[in-house]
Amino acid sequence: MNINWNYPKVREGFWGNIDKLIGPGATKAEKRIQLYIPVIAGVAAIGFSREVSSSWGIGQLILLFLLTIDIVGGIITNATSSAKRWFHREGQGVRQHLSFVAVHFVQLSLVASLFLQGDWLWVAVTGGYMMISSCLVLMSALYLQRPIALVMYAGALLLSLYWFEAPVGLEWFLPLFYLKLLVSHILREEPYRPESEQTTNEEV
């Protein structure tokens, strides 16, 4: 198994946007698990929600489906070798990673708006923990980032279970939300590549 930080040139147009989302040079296996598992999870989340919260409207169900796909897909995508070497390439530092994390205030706000009667204190507290934890990890020495990330995720898990409010049917949201950001995305890890992958002159 090879470790290769070089990635193919980003394609033009629509496929270039896909490259920037999942990492240039993603393998077929990486693409399949990023596509199929999140969709299955989205359908399962809808089915489960109908058992526990039959009063949810169509807007809530659509958001639930999209959130599930994004969170589960994000956990998988950000953990792939192709994404690791893209999101942790040269020039991607603390500011870039914190900007990515901060965008997720949108998700917290949507959940608060549609499922928690506009509880903006919940957004501030859960989002504040997200940002503080990310800062602690990213500003630590590289060799300490993994254990610190896991400690902060353990804290997030306990807070999500025992303190942060969770809508009935969405108890999974915060634990997976923090897993996506604190473990899957911000940790810099070696991009292991299949032996069959060929290095070309177009790689950067």
Query: What pLDDT does 48 receive?
Result: 84
DSSP E strands: which ranges in 45-132?
A: none
Is residue 103 one of the residues assigned to a domain?
yes
Q: Contact 30/197 with Cβ under 8 angstroms?
A: no
State the average pLDDT for the chain: 92
pLDDT tens column, 91-107 = 999 999 999 999 999 99
Is residue 76 one of the residues assigned to a domain?
yes
Average pLDDT over every residue of 170-189: 96
Alpha helices in 53-119 (DSSP H): 58-79, 81-87, 94-102, 105-115
Is residue 68 one of the residues assigned to a domain?
yes
Is residue 200 one of the residues assigned to a domain?
no
**Domain, as residue range, for 167:** 12-193
Confidence (pTM): 0.92
Is residue 110 one of the residues assigned to a domain?
yes
pLDDT tens column, 187-196 = 999 999 988 7
Give one word for 134, left, alpha or beta, with left for phi > 0 and alpha for psi -120 to 50. alpha
Is residue 201 one of the residues assigned to a domain?
no
pLDDT tens column, 59-78 = 999 999 999 999 999 999 99
Q: How far apart are CA 168 and CA 75, in angstroms?
A: 22
Q: How many domains does the chain have?
A: 1
Percentage of the chain surpassing pLDDT 90? 83
Q: Contact 38/69 with Cβ under 8 angstroms?
A: yes
